[in-house]
Amino acid sequence: MPPKSKAQVKAKAKPQAQKRKPSEGGTKDEVKDIKQEVKNEIKKEVDSPRSSSSSPHKKRQKLAAAPVIPGFDVIMKILTDDRLEFPPGNCRDMLQAMAPRALCTPHDERHALQTTAVEILDEALRGVGDQLRTQTTRAQERATAEAEALVAMEAKVASCQEALEAQTAEAAARKCAVDEATSSLKDAEAKFEQAKGAQGQDEKARCTCLAEKEFCVDLFEGSYKSLKEGKWGTDFAKQREQVDDVVNFMKSVKSVSVPSSLIFIEGPSVLRSKKDSRGSHAEQIFGDIEGIFNKHLATIEERLAVENEKAAAVLAAATAAEETLAQASATKSSGDAAYAAAELRKSQLEAELKQHHSAVAAQREAVAATKASTEKIMNEHTEVEQAFHKCMSAFTILRDQSPAAFATLSDTPSPGRSTPPQPEVA
């Protein structure tokens, strides 16, 4: 398609010129407002259904169909290069759409909105230039930061692994302590049961002695005294019962040697007699019977004293066994709690280590990706930088002069923004 004439460019710019013009020597706010208007107009066109429905291929065709202006291709190459990032607020599609309109018109024929569009392009390209000047440095810094992050994560893995090994050893030690406490508890339980058994047997023997003593005292204070004092009266049945009680007692006594005559002849005879009919020998026989009671009671008292001593010793042993059992039980309980806490911490460290390993694996991928990206940036930087310098050289000419001036100024180093050329005085 042949390039548009100046008249066509002016005709297209006229409708926009009716919207707003900056005042003579416009303020910064006015210029800012005009820039925003230009952005809004371009954005509307870029975001319009007709524009958004176009495929990337059609957009490229549209750009390819734009007027062929000397040097314009190197500018569009930079504007369409996905490796470059434009400053925030500068939409790539918007810049691509405004570039042909603004740069295809000579500097001294531009409408105010076209001039503002050129200023927006200038600002955006200067931002790209700033980016290019620090691109390699920032890429290397990112790579270094990712590598340092990987080193830090690997250090966490090593630290966590060391803590896990120490915690595993502690858990094993706690387990051994629990096993020892369990064994000690079983021994303490067995000794306590043994002490309680011995205490029960001693208490049984002691109770037997007490029962024998009680029986002997009751018999002496009861049936024997009743017979001796003749309190049975005329109740011969009661008399016979009491006599049998005393005689059977003397027969059963093992602790004292009792003469058989006292059991079978003299004893029963005197016990059955009334108090006023007893002979002189009766007192002697009663004395012998009472001696049997007293000796038997003394024997019981001796046995009871022995049993009491044994009971005291057994009680002390049982008390000590009970205390040992309580202590062993407490030791096992605390050991179980410590072991459970050690196992819990071990599980937590295992989970942490797993997370650290996952983080390290992900970070290694990030380091590899950053390294590849950095290498790509470093390899392509010279090419992109040269293309950008060509772009800025062409843009400077088209910005400050006109497409027609490109042929004579393209080989001249860009002097930066310059004052538009003044018309020659005739």
Contact by Cβ (8 Å): 400, 420: yes
pTM of model > 0.85: no
The set of residues, in sequence order, having a beta carbon less than 8 Å from that of 292 and lying 6+ positions away, is: 250, 253, 256, 258, 262
Nearest to 402 by CA among 200, 108, 206, 76: 108
Whether the predicted pLDDT of 177 surpasses 70: yes
pLDDT digits (tens, 9 = 90+) for 79-92: 888 888 877 766 78
Q: What is the pLDDT of residue 35?
A: 57
| Separation between Cα atoms, residue 418 and residue 397, nearest integer Å | 10
Whether the predicted pLDDT of 417 surpasses 50: no
- Name which of 138-142, 336-340, 352-356, 409-413 the model is least confident about: 409-413
Dihedral, 169, 173, 178, 182 alpha carbons, nearest 10: 130
The better pLDDT of the pair 348, 102 is held by 348
209 and 66 in a common domain:
no
**117 lies in which domain range?**
6-15+27-152+369-409
Q: Classify residue 22: in a domain, yes or no.
A: no
**49 Cα distance to chain centroid:** 52
pLDDT digits (tens, 9 = 90+) for 302-320: 888 888 888 888 888 889 9
Q: Classify residue 419: in a domain, yes or no.
A: no
Whether the predicted pLDDT of 158 surpasses 90: yes
175 and 145 in a common domain:
no
132 and 49 in a common domain:
yes
174 and 322 in a common domain:
yes
What's the alpha-carbon Rg for the chain, to the nearest Å? 61
pLDDT digits (tens, 9 = 90+) for 17-74: 334 444 444 455 554 555 566 556 555 554 554 444 444 445 444 444 445 677 788 8
What is the token pair recorded at 336?
């179980």
Nearest to 116 by CA among 16, 5, 11: 16
Dihedral, 102, 104, 106, 109 alpha carbons, nearest 10: -60
Structure-token match 């400053």, residue found: 87
Q: Classify residue 422: in a domain, yes or no.
A: no
pLDDT digits (tens, 9 = 90+) for 142-156: 999 999 999 999 999
Q: Classify residue 38: in a domain, yes or no.
A: yes
Average pLDDT over residues 97-101: 83
DSSP for 29-46, written as a single string: HHHHHHHHHHHHHHHHHH
The better pLDDT of the pair 91, 397 is held by 397
| Separation between Cα atoms, residue 180 and residue 331, nearest integer Å | 10
Q: What is the pLDDT of residue 46?
A: 46
Q: Report the percentage of the chain scoring pLDDT > 70.
A: 79
Whether the predicted pLDDT of 408 surpasses 80: no
Q: What is the pLDDT of residue 340?
A: 95
Whether the predicted pLDDT of 211 surpasses 70: yes
116 and 31 in a common domain:
yes
Q: What is the pLDDT of residue 101?
A: 79
The better pLDDT of the pair 68, 339 is held by 339
pLDDT digits (tens, 9 = 90+) for 115-140: 888 888 888 888 888 888 888 888 88
220 and 111 in a common domain:
no
175 and 132 in a common domain:
no
Contact by Cβ (8 Å): 266, 285: yes
Q: What is the pLDDT of residue 53?
A: 41
Q: Classify residue 425: in a domain, yes or no.
A: no
403 and 328 in a common domain:
no
Q: Classify residue 417: in a domain, yes or no.
A: no
Q: How many distinct structural domains can be found in the chain?
A: 2
Whether the predicted pLDDT of 188 surpasses 70: yes
Nearest to 220 by CA among 228, 230, 208: 228
346 and 276 in a common domain:
yes
Q: Classify residue 159: in a domain, yes or no.
A: no
174 and 110 in a common domain:
no
Q: Is 424 helix (H, G, I), strand (E, B) or coil?
A: coil
Last residue within a domain, chosen from 322, 337, 360: 360
Contact by Cβ (8 Å): 263, 251: yes
Q: What is the pLDDT of residue 418?
A: 38
178 and 326 in a common domain:
yes
Q: Classify residue 390: in a domain, yes or no.
A: yes
195 and 225 in a common domain:
yes
Q: What is the DSSP letter of 2?
A: P
| Separation between Cα atoms, residue 168 and residue 353, nearest integer Å | 13
Average pLDDT over residues 157-177: 94
Structure-token match 């009751």, residue found: 218
